[in-house]
Amino acid sequence: MAVQELAIKNMVCSRCIWAVQQELERQGYQVHHIELGRARVEGAVIDLTAIADGLTTKGFELLSERNARLVNQVKTLIRSLIQRGEAAQLRTTLSDYLADEIGMDYPHLSHLFSTTEHLTIEKFWILQRVERAKELLSYNELSISDIAQTLGYSSTAYLTNQFKQITGLTPAAYRSQTASDRNPLDWI
């Protein structure tokens, strides 16, 4: 039996993991491990074209190029930090964290990300934090101060400044409106 490591774009939550696993199992593969952005499958013959087609119908993309895999890994690490609420516990800089996790020097990662995505890693980090802030604001369960702390901002004013630069609204004004202008995290 052949075992294949797959890199998959647009996996952003536990439901995405479930959907990808369901698709791979539907195609007859045994899933050994699955997490955001990757899966390890086993099968008699692994048909990457069929896997890619099946994943595409569900809004995912099978990545084959090394650079695309690295960029996807950066995105997955950033999304995981933010979604799991670990951005505030980050004991190092984001650049050092990414370089350590991926095993590649940050300037190379940064250049690769920027040329591939036409967006810097820092801008992606900010956009992801703002989208998560929108989500948390729409739940109306945490104060703006608690949201700032959860997302690793040094102050509420810093969150407010970045939030307003991206959305044109303060977090308080956004909260008072409907949250219908939120973008799915995989659109960023």
Q: What is the pTM of this model?
A: 0.71
Domains in the chain: ranges and CATH: 2-63 (3.30.70.100), 75-188 (1.10.10.60)
> Which stretch of DSSP H or E encloses residue 37?
none
pLDDT in tens, the chain (188 residues): 888 889 898 998 889 999 999 999 999 999 999 999 889 999 988 898 999 999 999 999 888 788 888 999 999 999 999 988 888 888 899 999 999 999 999 999 999 999 888 999 999 999 999 999 999 999 889 999 999 999 999 999 999 999 999 999 999 999 988 645 566 666 76
**Dihedral over alpha carbons 136, 137, 143, 148 (to 10 degrees):** 60
Of 104, 85, 106, the residue nearest 95 (C-alpha): 106
DSSP 154: S
Q: What angle do CA 38, 40, 44 make, to 5 degrees?
A: 140
